[in-house]
Amino acid sequence: MPGLLPVLYLILAAASSGRAQEAPAPDNPYFVTYSHDMTEPGTLELETKTAAARPHGGSPYVALAEEMEFGVTPWWTAELYLDGQATDDQSTLFTGYRFENRFRPLRGEHLINPVLYIEYESITGADKSILEFVGHDGQSDLSESNKTAKLDRDREAELKLILSSNFKSWNLSENFIAEKDLSHAPWEFGYAVAAARPLHSVTGRVCTFCAEKFIAGAEAYGGVGDTWALTLRDTSHYIAPVFGWQLPRDMRVSLSPGFGLTRSSLDYELRIGFAIEFAHVIERLRGSGHGRVVPEGGPQPVFGGAACGKEHPEPAGVGRAHTALSQDQVLRLKASTTAGGHLPGDTSRNGNLCTLRPAVVFYGARLGPMEINVKAVHHRRTLPLWRCSHGNSPKSASDRLDECISQ
């Protein structure tokens, strides 16, 4: 491990100095590897990760990991996993839980974006969700009967250094993993690397089955021994194509068939994932209240490029309900507001400085006109970029937003 330290220092130095272009794209469909993507503050993501396999000398099984991920701040994402499994001719078990936190220390987009990962897990020996492989983990650990394996309770700490880069339409991610049983045993180490990109450059076209809604790539992962012996001997390694499909209403489906590369590995594993996001959960739970009625009118720029970066607080006493702006709506809005495809107030070279994490805020009484304010969050500041007003309409808020963008 000492020989890796200079390499890690060089990587972190590059991360703090270089910058790369950030392009909107479907979420990466990785199952083991983490990228530097963080959940938006106030957004709750629910995801189900299913793994199915059959170890040598064991029974086929299906393992389930239910993930609840919440964006606490722009630089902190927290997750809770609830694990379970069902083994053929044996039983169905709840196998434990995991609580993880990811911290992104550097703001903005860089050539290499580091993220620090900390996890505590309390699982039984019957857990088969295999969210990572470390040390000498192998298929023999997955072939033990549920009756015996459930008696073993593991309380472990896991650390990861996540390094991730976006280059044009590609995402490249590398994870260095260290895990330790808190009661005994040495530190165990592992790795995960992945790359993926959409099948077509993102254009903002409203569609479900077009190529830009699909993303494909591959990930590789495995163990590299422990503090007693850093080695590839008697360790598991896998290569797995990954496929993702971005669905409407912030839903996505992922698929990954994995293939074992060593004798200790499973011959084959199949992973399936489904996720859905709920934006601005806290505001919704508190209630939206009532807002003000504004005059009707077409799209109006709120400020020009010179004002980019100034903070504009919300008017006091105005009730508001927050709704996430979909990726399609973001791109259509950027295309419709200026010939250059950027929102008013955008002064950055790559078009992302003032359009990071866009969201829409609705103002209006229940029976009155509606004013739509498009905003961006940059360095924890809310920047109003553009707004339009829409009169009384029986249509839904989402439909009226689409019409407003199209004006």
The CATH number covering residue 216 comes to 2.40.160.40
User: Which comes out higher in pLDDT, residue 113 or 352?
Assistant: 113
* Whether residue 18 is found in the same domain as residue 72: yes
How far, in Å, CA of 209 to CA of 198, rounded?
13
Question: 20, 167 in Cβ contact below 8 A?
Answer: yes
Which of the four pLDDT bands, split at 50, 70 and 90, describes residue 184?
A: confident
Q: What is the mean pLDDT of the chain?
A: 74
Side-chain half-sphere CA neighbours of 40 within 13 A: 21
Q: How far is CA 354 from CA 4, 57, 236, 329, 406, in A?
A: 37, 57, 45, 16, 21
pLDDT at 326: 53
How far, in Å, CA of 223 to CA of 191, rounded?
6
* Whether residue 257 is found in the same domain as residue 336: no
* Whether residue 272 is found in the same domain as residue 291: no
* Whether residue 268 is found in the same domain as residue 326: no
Q: Which of 34-38, 265-269, 343-347, 364-368 has the lowest mean pLDDT?
A: 364-368
The phi, psi pair for 334, rounded to 5°, reads: -60, -40
Cβ-based neighbours of 360, under 8 Å, separated by 6 or more: 322, 323, 324, 325, 329, 372, 373, 374, 375, 401
The phi, psi pair for 155, rounded to 5°, reads: -115, 115
Residue 390 one-letter amino acid = H
pLDDT of 189 strictly over 90: yes
Q: Which of 112-116, 305-309, 358-362 has the lowest mean pLDDT?
A: 305-309
Which of the four pLDDT bands, split at 50, 70 and 90, describes residue 201?
A: confident
* Whether residue 307 is found in the same domain as residue 205: no
Q: Is 127 helix (H, G, I), strand (E, B) or coil?
A: coil
Q: Which of 37-46, 298-307, 340-349 shows the highest mean pLDDT?
A: 37-46
pLDDT at 23: 38
Which of the four pLDDT bands, split at 50, 70 and 90, describes residue 399?
A: low
How far, in Å, CA of 95 to CA of 281, rounded?
29
pLDDT of 32 strictly over 50: yes
User: Which comes out higher in pLDDT, residue 342 or 249?
Assistant: 249
Domain end residue (candidates: 278, 300, 315): 278
* Whether residue 221 is found in the same domain as residue 300: no
pLDDT at 216: 97
The phi, psi pair for 366, rounded to 5°, reads: -60, -40
Q: How many CB atoms lie within 10 A of CB 87?
A: 23
pLDDT at 47: 97
* Whether residue 362 is found in the same domain as residue 378: yes
* Whether residue 272 is found in the same domain as residue 336: no
83-107 average pLDDT score: 95
Side-chain half-sphere CA neighbours of 158 within 13 A: 27
How far, in Å, CA of 57 to CA of 145, rounded?
10
> What is the value of pTM for the model shown?
0.68
* Whether residue 34 is found in the same domain as residue 112: yes
* Whether residue 202 is found in the same domain as residue 74: yes
pLDDT of 8 strictly over 90: no
Domain end residue (candidates: 220, 252, 278): 278
- Long-range residue pairs from 78-87, CB within 8 A, at least 24 positions apart, any chain: 78/102, 81/121, 81/129, 81/131, 83/123, 83/127, 83/129, 85/61, 85/126, 85/127, 85/128, 85/129, 85/146, 86/61, 86/62, 87/58, 87/59, 87/60, 87/61, 87/128, 87/145, 87/146
Instruction: Count structural domains, the chain.
Output: 2
Cβ-based neighbours of 203, under 8 Å, separated by 6 or more: 212, 331
* Whether residue 251 is found in the same domain as residue 316: no
pLDDT at 168: 87
Q: How many CB atoms lie within 10 A of CB 253?
A: 14
Cβ-based neighbours of 398, under 8 Å, separated by 6 or more: 323
pLDDT at 281: 81
* Whether residue 14 is found in the same domain as residue 147: yes
252-265 average pLDDT score: 96
- From the CA atom positions of the chain, what is the Rg in Å? 23
266-270 average pLDDT score: 96
Domain end residue (candidates: 278, 298, 323): 278
How far, in Å, CA of 14 to CA of 136, rounded?
32
Residue 172 one-letter amino acid = L
Question: 38, 75 in Cβ contact below 8 A?
Answer: yes
How far, in Å, CA of 45 to CA of 250, rounded?
9
Question: 383, 314 in Cβ contact below 8 A?
Answer: no
Domain that holds residue 334: 285-406
How far, in Å, CA of 380 to CA of 181, rounded?
37
